[in-house]
Amino acid sequence: MNDLLAACTRRLPDALALLKQLVALESPSTDKAAVDRCLAFTEAKFRELGLATQRIPSATAGDQLIADWPGGDGRSGRVLALLHLDTVWPIGTLERMPIREENSRLYGPGAYDMKGSVAIAWQAIGALRDSGRAPRRRLRLLFTSDEEIGSNASVDLIRAEAIQSDLVLVMEPALPNGELKTARKGVGGFKIVAHGRSSHAGGNHDKGVNAIEELAHQVLALQKLTDYERGTTINVGVIAGGTRSNVVPDRAEIDVDFRAASITEAERVERAFRSLRPALPEARLEVSGGLNRPPMERNATMIATFEKARRIGAAIGLELKEGSTGGGSDGSFTAALGIPTLDGLGPLGDGAHALHEHVVVESLAQRAALLAALWTHWE
């Protein structure tokens, strides 16, 4: 398998050029036309490699794209690779974050999360084709367009594809030192709206019911649900309410993010939110939301899957390590189904969702070789 790294390294200049083109195609999740343009470009590039493609229209987000490797032994099962084409960056970000190479790094919005992974998959397939190889199992790539906003439009497709697969490879970027991700926190959110009664703050203060005061009680109670030892965090991140300082506000709202390392903790948090009751007489609460992505727990299946990948990586000279993260990914959906899942197979780098977002250029070839090895040697 050592020749895989050499084959991917030969393709590195082309993969880097492709990555620059992908980053130049700005694709914020909420701009369907922009994401669809990036998807059309991606489809054309993978069709050039001989993959069969299918575009799945979406009315509420960008379209989704499936690309299939036409070779492989159809009796030996299927491997699914998950990628997303949307980014958190709005159109025009390139003006303040121009694409640039510096110190063997490529900077640009979406380069790390996760257009570098698209270039890696393209590079790996090209390297295998150059050497006349095909995956041991059938290969399907699923490119989604709304991962950064919760995957609501694509989650049903992700689950449907996962349950027909023997292995799911999640192409999210690696942890900073290249570790694969064998545990992720579950991610959820709630909106709480407090309803009170407005009145004049001077003339009829006692007649009012202050919705902001009601939420102050709720914020303090909710923050106490945080339990660092169990890996659970609650963050009241947005609060809004009222109109003028001399009016007792009749409405206020908060947006709350929560993360939980286990499904047991996620359920505890959800029960606590659902059981909230007003602290002030005559106030009323509306609670909406819940768990968006389940935790990806480091269970026996996850451990065995990583160990198999570690051995394959070692055969091509790569020492794989594992780690955890508080961020969510579509791999959480597949792992929760009991499907063997490997996450964090994307490039090394840093700055996801930040102004210094970049990939380490050399890692594109290394991760492409790892991906090719997984495709051809997973038993």
Do both 100 and 164 map to the same domain?
Answer: yes
From the DSSP assignment, how many helices (H) and strands (E) are in the chain? 10, 18
Q: Tell whether 22 and 126 lie within a shared domain.
A: yes
Phi-psi region of 325 (alpha: psi -120 to 50; beta: other; left: phi over 0): beta
**Domain co-membership, 76 together with 156:** yes
Q: How far apart are CA 365 and CA 379, in angstroms?
A: 23
Domains identified in the chain, total number: 2
**Looking at the structure, do residues 338 and 195 belong to the same domain, yes or no?**
no
Q: Range of 218's domain?
A: 186-293
Would you give per-residue pLDDT tens digits along the chain (379 residues)? 668 999 999 999 999 999 999 999 999 999 999 999 999 999 999 999 999 999 999 999 999 999 999 765 555 689 999 999 999 999 999 999 999 999 999 999 999 999 999 999 999 999 999 989 888 899 999 999 999 999 999 999 999 999 999 999 999 999 989 999 999 999 999 999 999 999 999 999 999 999 999 999 999 999 999 999 999 999 999 999 999 999 999 999 999 999 999 999 999 999 999 999 999 999 999 999 999 999 999 999 999 999 999 999 999 999 999 999 998 999 999 999 999 999 999 999 999 999 999 999 999 999 999 999 999 999 8
Whole-angstrom distance, CA of residue 257 vs CA of residue 189: 5
Check: CB of residue 304 under 8 Å from CB of residue 298.
no
Domain boundary among 293, 319, 337: 293
224 plus 287 within the same structural domain: yes
For residues 24 and 168, membership in a common domain is answered with yes
Is 0.85 surpassed by the pTM of this model? yes
Provide the token pair at 289: 């939301």
- Does one domain contain both 80 and 198? no
- Residue 371's CATH number: 3.40.630.10
User: Do 176 and 68 share a structural domain?
Assistant: yes
